[in-house]
Homo-oligomer: A and B are copies of this chain.
């Protein structure tokens, strides 16, 4: 089939989002129960007041993880958590999961048990039921496809396309750590390959290693907002870097934004590692992926409720569309936010 193609467009000519947009642009939803389809963190299903959220994420060996430094149990945990994060980013509660795993005969039963034990640990912690799946062989490599279903009251769903002009832009936790953890692991892998007797130098970097190897989904933030009666006007999880995610909110809400560089929360370990790699920590936060923090907007009227909450930082505000998507640098100059996500920095396609 492939040899006979008249025209050949390389996958790399599209980014991940461009490709998904391209392949799904003609979809028209037919069922009354299909409330929202492609284009948010999760799909919304169900005509009643109690609705369901559905999300699917793939984790592919050699693309999303490297078996040389990714412990199998962590891999399972992470594969589960990244899906929980998508449900949580809609303000929902993850409840059920199906697991698809395809592994080559390089993997033993014990190896699959390790992956499953990580998935089950995450399900225990986030109170999610594994209800089905498929386990099969592959010719090479390991491939994990997880689908998570969540519950939510119709009135509480938070979409990406509902931010309002002048809303405050907030993030949970800190950013860029997972990416610096990845760079550290990649460096130690190269060192090890050059000289297998070298011991990896990982001490003191637990924080960023944990961010990369064992991320958490911020259910606690959802609960914190609810406890403080703060209803986000829009929300998304930060899987591909702050820049990529805020641009999703801007595009879908038909608005612009101003993000203040000096407000972006970055952990001190992330900063020092970035300096070691001669990378601007702001770039790591903007374009490094896999932090799985929440990015959300709130009405200015909620400022007093949020300003003293630990773990939440106000980093800017939404503007009209004509103002564009801007980063206000430490020196006060306004720079257009670049579309680069984690994919672009790394090895997508």
Contacts and interface: CB of A to CB of B under 8 A. Distances in A.
Nearest to A2: B111
Contact of A58 (B102, B120, B141): B102
A151 B95 CA distance: 18
Contact of A54 (B12, B98, B112): B98
B23 A149 contact: no
Nearest to A124: B30
A112 B11 CA distance: 9
Contact of A62 (B46, B63, B139): B139
Nearest to A151: B33
Contact of A16 (B19, B114, B135): B135
Contacts of A48: 48, 50
Contact of A111 (B1, B106, B120): B1
A8 interface: yes
Interface string A233-258: 00000000000000000000000000
Range, interface on chain A: 35 or more
A127 interface: yes
Q: Which of A57, A98, A349 has the most CB of B within 10 A?
A: A98
Contact of A131 (B9, B13, B45): B45
A24 interface: yes
A324 interface: no
B129 A31 contact: yes
A112 B143 contact: no
A57 B37 CA distance: 20
A332 interface: no
Contact of A141 (B8, B29, B140): B140
A108 B11 contact: yes
A348 interface: yes
A147 B64 contact: no
Interface string A118-133: 0010000001011111
A110 B7 contact: yes
B60 A131 contact: no
A2 B95 contact: no
B67 A19 contact: no
Given A34-B96, A38-B130, A56-B147, A106 B2 contact: yes
Contacts of A113: 23
Q: Which of A2, A22, A95 has the most CB of B within 10 A?
A: A2
A138 B1 contact: no
Contacts of A129: 27, 29-31, 34, 37
A58 B102 CA distance: 8
B1 A71 contact: yes
Contacts of A348: 136-137
B108 A33 contact: no
Contacts of A153: none
Given A108-B8, A109-B10, A137 B102 contact: no
8 contacts: A2-B107, A10-B105, A11-B105, A11-B112, A45-B149, A63-B136, A64-B136, A143-B143
Interface of A: 1-2, 5, 7-14, 16, 19-20, 22-24, 26-27, 29-31, 33-34, 36-38, 42-43, 45-46, 48, 50, 52, 54-58, 60-64, 67, 71-72, 95-96, 98-100, 102-103, 105-114, 116, 120, 127, 129-141, 143, 145, 147, 149, 151, 347-349
